[in-house]
Chain A
Amino acid sequence: MTDSAITTEGLKKSYKKTEVLKGVDFDVRRGQIFALLGSNGAGKTTTIKILATLLRPDSGTSFVSGFDVVKSPDKVRQSISLTGQFTAVDEILTGRENLHMIARLRHLDNPGGIAEGLLERFGLTDAADRSAGTYSGGMKRRLDLAMSLVGKPSVIFLDEPTTGLDPEARLQVWEMIRELAKGGTTVFLTTQYLDEAEELADRIAILHEGRIVADATLSELKKLFPPAKVEYVEKQPTLEEIFLHMTREIQ
């Protein structure tokens, strides 16, 4: 057993004539939060789909939990879960039924108990028996994440987990991701928000034009640039701080 949860070497993928990935290499250790940073169209989703066995690479190898994603996708699927860019919850089923369904599809004992536990953990107990279509964006995302945790997968892929969420819901998702990593789960996330990577990730890789142009910890990345000039400025609260302050006060 190695210490790596995900390794990938020389990953290439083209769609028709467009070369999306031109040889991507990285290594994610167990229990790490790894952020793949890149602008829209950089190939983040393509990378995550290959690692989650949804897409075959043209060349290169990837191992997740020690298994080759092309040669033994079933073994890989046993240990992972994917939360896609858009919340993949069944909007006609209730929150409880969604979780129950996933637990049964993972062939787990006591799906009812698992659903109950996750509903509570994600603060969805009160809404458990409403159809997920009536949930707010943040609640849907929470249910989506809860569904990804059914069966305690050891590697979790999150494709832009906070895109489209309001600041409050975003903080809740961050909190959950941190908790997961504390419990030993490896989290692989993609994001286009720099502050998100800065806030969460143990290690950050920057994907640009189909290649990894940087792969390091935040402090290492910062060292790559000349030391910050010290300036004294009056600290103004950010708009986010003001927003959160006002909305929490009213509650």
Chain B
Amino acid sequence: MEARYLLSDMSVMLGRSMRHIFRSMDTIIKVALMPILFMLLFVYVFGGAIQSGTDNYVNYLLPGILLIAIASGIAYTAYRLFLDVQKGIFERFHSMPIAHSAVLWGHVLTSLVSNAISLVVIVLVALLMGFRSPAGILSWLAVIGILALFTLALTWIAAIAGLSAKTIDGASAFSFPLLFLPFISSAFVPTGTMPPAVRVFAENQPVTSIVNAMRALLSNQPVGNDIWIAIAWCVGIIAVAYFFAMRAYKRRVLSR
């Protein structure tokens, strides 16, 4: 009887948290603002000195900036989940005959939608700063697909944090290291000049393959293996994080 209502319950939950987002537009602005500042800083301050091997540094930079935006955007998912647990709203939902997975999926879908809005804003600013792409519709769809997968992966990590944190600060602190991953990758500079140990890390962490795949897609270059490595990373993280998020969820809501 639960499955029958899954979609309708999920749409109620999505509607609920979308209202939350549109009534606090400052969260979207906050999420978009920091990556935009980074973009301005890197293009107009550091950009002249960075040898990225391209004549258009905005083009080079944008994929990494988008990943930073997602890493800061998902902190709000953790925050909203934490509040729902804290305020007993999850308990109310759970004592009702509704599809329980809808409660979590509502938050996850909301994360996808709100991050998409922030990303669109950032791409528009990048266009003003001279971002241009010869990519066709298929390449763009692939880029959107990768961004969606990356958002899902980080959102499920955020769900673990939001459901298991003891304090509100703890619920959002986890996103801090995630914000730094793009800096130790090919997102801002080519990895070639890094010392060996850093370089090995940079070239084998998920952000580098994701950034390289997006960069190739946006500039109509052959993508090579990067896209498969990128997808494998995202799907792998989703699977592991989903498992732990569900466990945290059951522990938190059903057996306190």
Contacts and interface: CB of A to CB of B under 8 A. Distances in A.
A56 B88 CA distance: 18
Interface residues of B, number: 27
Nearest to B21: A92
Given A81-B96, A101-B12, A90 B255 contact: no
Contacts of A85: 88
Interface in A89-108: 89-93, 97, 101-102, 104-107
Contacts of B256: 49, 54-55
A92 B19 contact: yes
A55 B95 contact: no
Interface string B71-106: 000000000000000011101111111100000000
B24 interface: yes
Given A104-B8, A105-B12, A88 B94 contact: no
A85 B1 CA distance: 29
Interface stretch (A72-80, A164-172, A183-191): A72-80
Contacts of A177: none
A61 interface: no
A144 to B, nearest CB: 9
Interface in A40-99: 49, 52-56, 74, 77-78, 80-82, 84-93, 97
Interface class of chain B by DSSP: helix
A93 B97 CA distance: 22
A88 B20 contact: no
Given A74-B97, A105-B9, A105-B12, A92 B92 contact: no
A28 interface: no
Chain A interface category by residue count: 20 to 34
Interface in B217-256: 253-256
Contact of A82 (B16, B92, B253, B255): B92
A92 B27 CA distance: 14
B99 to A, nearest CB: 10
Given A55-B256, A56-B255, A88-B87, A106 B95 contact: no
B23 A105 contact: no
A52 B9 CA distance: 20
A147 interface: yes
B2 interface: yes
A147 B92 contact: yes
Contact of B95 (A82, A87, A92, A131): A82
A101 B16 contact: yes
Given A74-B97, A97-B19, A106-B96, A55 B88 contact: no
Contact of A84 (B5, B88, B253, B254): B88
Interface in A129-178: 131, 147, 157
A141 B15 CA distance: 24
A77 B96 contact: yes
B122 to A, nearest CB: 25
A74 B1 contact: yes
Contacts of B97: 74, 77-78, 106
A93 B96 contact: no
Contact of A88 (B23, B89, B255): B89
Contacts of B16: 90, 93, 101
Given A88-B88, A92-B23, A53 B95 contact: yes
Contacts of A84: 88, 91-92
Given A54-B253, A56-B255, A88-B91, 9 more contacts: A55-B256, A74-B1, A77-B97, A80-B95, A87-B88, A88-B92, A101-B16, A106-B98, A131-B23
Interface of A: 49, 52-56, 74, 77-78, 80-82, 84-93, 97, 101-102, 104-107, 131, 147, 157
Interface of B: 1-2, 5, 8-9, 12, 15-16, 19-20, 23-24, 87-89, 91-98, 253-256
13 contacts: A53-B94, A53-B95, A54-B94, A54-B95, A77-B96, A78-B97, A80-B95, A88-B87, A92-B19, A93-B16, A105-B9, A105-B96, A106-B98
